[in-house]
Structure 1
């Protein structure tokens, strides 16, 4: 059996690098681990940490193709972030003009969660622990 050690990172390609960089660092509060511009690809790569752990790579590419990205679309469903206080997190997003869906309750765990989107409509989730 394959022995996976854990999830290393999630890669996100954005359409407007500065807008997405602001969203992920200033609104969601992720920390920049490293940033590089790859001239040969006309691409930025921004390494981000969630709570001190390197987990997200934000890329820019010239004219990337669009793909369906609602939570129930085929393929990767969404990226979920754990939060201790869902109400405070939703309030923070609302104060930054980020629209969240109504809060739901997970029928299996009884935990509350909500969905919202990044600047490119990538579905994101906040899940209360």
Structure 2
């Protein structure tokens, strides 16, 4: 088997409008398409970063809760690379989002921080 890349990341949210605003307006991901699936009472929002499809945001009625801290077993977190972590943090704070203290990757010397999305999913910003 030969993989050629990651196609997308699927996220199920508990408050569709709140998560849509977070990913599209605050993080600035581009909306490719939005579909309402009546038979499932579910929205599906396709989002792109720099023109590349990256996230499928879903809503479902009453989704079950799941552990989402960065150290929990399972999918750990989503990480976005940013050119300037200080300006990224300032923008997050402007939107009333409190990032964790900035840390430094011991292996690379690069700086990074975490926030939580509206459903407490950990999101990393890594200075590239």
Using structure 2 for the length normalisation, give the TM-score. Answer: 0.99
What does the per-residue CA deviation read over 1:12-37, in whole Å, with 9 as the maximum and x for residues that have no partner?
00000000000001100000001100
Structure 1 residues 56-89: Cα deviation after superposition (integer angstroms, max 9, x where no partner): 0000000000000000000011000000000000
Q: Which whole-Å CA distance do the structure 1 matches of 2:116 and 2:92 have between them?
A: 11
Q: 1:97 maps to which residue?
A: 96
Within the alignment, does 1:47 sit opposite 2:41 as a pair?
A: no
Query: Following TM superposition, by how much is the alpha carbon of 1:51 offset from its aligned partner in structure 2, in angstroms?
Result: 1.5
1:127 corresponds to: 126
- Once superposed, what is the RMSD of the aligned Cα atoms? 0.4
The residue number in structure 2 matching 1:64 is 63
1:88 is paired with a residue of what secondary structure? helix
* CA distance in structure 2 between the aligned counterparts of 1:88 and 1:19, rounded to whole angstroms: 23
Paired position in structure 2 for 1:74 = 73
| Structure 1 consecutive aligned stretches of length 4 or more whose deviation exceeds 6 Å | none
Structure 2: any 5+ residue segments left out of the alignment?
none
Please give the TM-score of this superposition, normalised by the length of structure 1.
Answer: 0.98
Unpaired segments ≥5 residues, structure 1 = none
